[in-house]
A and B are shown apart, each in its own frame.
Chain A
Amino acid sequence: MGTPAGFLRCDSVSKSFDGRVAVDAVSFEMGRGEVYGLLGPNGAGKTTTIKMVCGLIEPDGGAITVDGRSSRDLAARSLVGYVPQEVALYPDLTAAENLSFFCRLYGLRGRVADERVREALELTDLADRRDDRVDAFSGGMKRRLNIAAGLLHHPALLVLDEPTVGVDPQSRHAILERVGAFKRAGMAVLYTTHYMEEAERVCDRVGIVDHGKMIAEGTRRELVAQLGEKDTIDLSAVGNLEELAHTLRGVPGVEQAAVADGRIHLLTSDGRSVLPLLIEAAGRLQVEISSVDISEANLEAVFLHLTGTALRE
């Protein structure tokens, strides 16, 4: 695992749009060979933060440096590989033409550019589709090519903005595998996601953001340790879930209860002792429980603990 050697340094960075605060004094730093995750729900300020890291948006306050240079400097940008959330490729060009174009933008030409295109296509398992137009690709293939376009110039810092949104499980697995490979190759990877599982799987350290603020930061173990010995309970049920969640908040041992994705997420001091009370409350409210999962606390529970809301609420 890398250490926060300050290769990327965000120091009290803020940004507002039309008076609405999108990022509020966010600070973090990361080193080479480290995967740093920005975990938070949609609209938390993750994308705005990484756009400032990539020099696309000028912060209202604070400073961002990449290897000691301001992120707004062109020199800093050549160190960064940006992979946007939406697929940003030319649909009427082939995979190779897209990559070749981005190579040239970064000043790569001739054999070097050809070699980088070949390398990126092989890395993303698209070598056999190099001469196919992008608009003929599946969503997962486009995502992989989208990542390939950010790798061509061998960036020291790779910024991945929700790279697995809307992809099939196979492509998702492939992308997460690649992130591990980038880290092993010594690359710093800044990874935004609202999927707790992804953050837990690929990130060395995680910064949890909500409403533009960094509300917690650390390794998974450090963050979960904040909760002490707690359990999470996920209830799948049919009925008035909001009313049930409200009722459960008053049940002894239940610390937080939130509804998201048609489920109730609970943070409890002891899941097994609380469970009968939950079932009783559901019965009273005529809510039919279809499944119950009890597990040790995870990043989702940390988020619930810190904000009182579920990550995907």
Chain B
Amino acid sequence: MRAALVIARKDLRQRVRDRSAIILGLVAPVAIAALMSLAFNGADTFHFTLGLVDQDHGPVATALRQNLELPALRRIVTLKVLDSEAQAREEVRSQRVAAALVIPPGFSAAATSSASSALHTLSSVNNTIAADVSRSIASSFVAQINADRLSVATAIASGSPTSRAAVLAAAATDLRIPEQLVQRPLGAHPVKVVSYYAPAMAILFLFFTISFSSRSFFAERAQGLIERLRAAPVHPAEILLGKVLSVFVFGVASLGMVWLVTAAAFGADWGAPAAAGLVCASLVVATVCLTALVIGLARTQRQAEGIASAVVFILALVGGNFVFISTAPSVMRRLALFTPNGWALRAFTDLSTTGGGLHTVAVPVLAILAFSGVVGAAAVRLAYRAVTA
């Protein structure tokens, strides 16, 4: 054990001095997590400026404008009143407004008669979400008008005098469509983009340790350093343990640093510290086992690079490090559960959305450790052979 600690300490000293290791272990995951958060930020807090051209100036047009200025919509839409359709087109084209709504002349009159009229939306391919939302607002308003008209028509057909049509229409306008659809997250909090991508990127770059460590092992072997270690009164198992120990410590330090930086700088929520720490530790154990497996399978530095790259990218793609796994097809979501990172991301997502603790991560941690056990059992024998070769 003494020799293992000596070897691990030496490896860590080399790792700390190696700028590429620091970049891979800390700078890159923080930077990419920040970039992805910026890229995806706003997906859950969408807001845009809507241009409105009122060519009608009637009561229904006024009602639509008042609707658009309701407090409920203010979080999503800022209204900008425009003078003409031409001006609206120019504003949309120059992206000063994301979309525009044109109320045509006679729109109010048509609403209280049997004539038909249509609201126009102007949108740009540069802002399809704003276009969709604008259409949705317009459709909702038109649906409300049509519902009012239907209510009045039904009342008159049922015997109400046509002289009361205006009163009935006013009453119908006061009645909003009662059934509403409200989206609520399953957990206590919706998942924040940064809370997903911070651990996702930290894990991805933790996996690069597999490539880095296995390459450095074969470089040492090619330089005769492993042989020199074996010539000392050191058991080969101690050499392997030393190598593995340095991977573990570096992995924990890397994950821990990314955790601290992303939480402090970007507000990433990794969940309860004890539970998140347990997930991190189990994930590093899996990384250590994968490193040993690559060392065991490869024969040369080049082979180690190739195998490690394949392992990292397959795990990252399948486990959901690049995309929200919850939005992936069900087969991908199932496949993710065969990867340690898939389980870890599930655990981190559960922790940040439910505010749970150790019990929340028990199953993911056990799954990661089971993965590590299977990989580790195969790896130890192979890696031992690589040390003594």
Contacts and interface: CB of A to CB of B under 8 A. Distances in A.
Interface string A183-220: 00000000000000000000000000000000000000
B120 interface: no
Interface string A134-149: 0000000000000001
A101 interface: yes
Interface in B180-233: 223-225, 227-233
Interface string A119-146: 0000000000000000000000000000
A56 B14 contact: no
A82 B231 CA distance: 7
A78 B233 contact: yes
A10 interface: no
> Which of A85, A105, A106, A149 has most chain B Cβ within 10 Å?
A105
Nearest to B17: A92
Interface string A43-77: 00000000100111000000000000000001101
A246 interface: no
Contacts of A78: 232-233
A88 B230 CA distance: 12
A56 B227 CA distance: 7
B227 A74 contact: no
Contacts of A56: 227, 230-231
B167 interface: no
Interface string A73-112: 0110110101011111110110001000110111100000
A105 B6 contact: yes
B225 A90 contact: yes
Nearest to B14: A92
B3 interface: yes
B74 interface: no
Contacts of A102: 228, 232
A80 B232 CA distance: 8
B228 A106 contact: no
Contacts of B6: 101, 104-105
B231 A90 contact: no
Contact of B2 (A86, A87, A107): A107
Contacts of B2: 107
B10 A101 contact: yes
Interface string B1-44: 01100110010011001100000000000000000000000000
A93 B13 CA distance: 9
Interface residues of B, number: 21
A85 B7 CA distance: 22
A56 B221 CA distance: 13
A104 to B, nearest CB: 4
Given A93-B13, A105-B3, A105-B6, A88 B233 contact: no
B235 A92 contact: no
Nearest to B388: A56
Contacts of B7: 105
B234 interface: yes
Contacts of A75: 233
B69 to A, nearest CB: 66
A87 B224 CA distance: 8
Contacts of A82: 228, 231
Nearest to B223: A88
Given A88-B225, A93-B14, A74 B235 contact: yes
B212 to A, nearest CB: 14
A97 B13 contact: yes
Nearest to A79: B233
B308 to A, nearest CB: 21
A171 B229 CA distance: 25
Nearest to A159: B231
Given A84-B228, A88-B223, A88-B225, A105 B234 contact: yes
B5 to A, nearest CB: 9
B43 to A, nearest CB: 44
Contacts of B233: 74-75, 77-78, 105-107
Contact of A88 (B13, B17, B224, B234): B224
Contacts of A106: 232-233
Contacts of B234: 74, 105
Nearest to A74: B233
B18 A88 contact: no
B227 A84 contact: yes
A87 B227 CA distance: 12
A77 B231 contact: yes
A153 B234 CA distance: 14
A251 B197 CA distance: 85
Contacts of B229: 105
A51 B2 CA distance: 24
Interface in A11-61: 51, 54-56
Contacts of B231: 54-56, 77, 80, 82, 84
Interface in B222-261: 223-225, 227-235
A102 B231 CA distance: 11
Contacts of A104: 6
Nearest to A53: B231
Given A75-B233, A97-B13, A105-B234, A92 B18 contact: yes
Contact of A86 (B18, B223, B235): B223
Nearest 7 CB-CB pairs, A to B?
A88-B224, A82-B231, A74-B233, A88-B228, A78-B233, A104-B6, A105-B232
10 contacts: A51-B227, A74-B233, A84-B224, A86-B223, A87-B223, A88-B224, A88-B227, A105-B229, A105-B232, A106-B232
Interface of B: 2-3, 6-7, 10, 13-14, 17-18, 223-225, 227-235
Given A56-B230, A56-B231, 20 more contacts: A74-B233, A74-B235, A77-B231, A77-B233, A78-B233, A80-B231, A82-B228, A84-B228, A86-B223, A88-B223, A88-B224, A90-B14, A97-B13, A101-B10, A105-B3, A105-B6, A105-B229, A105-B233, A107-B2, A149-B228
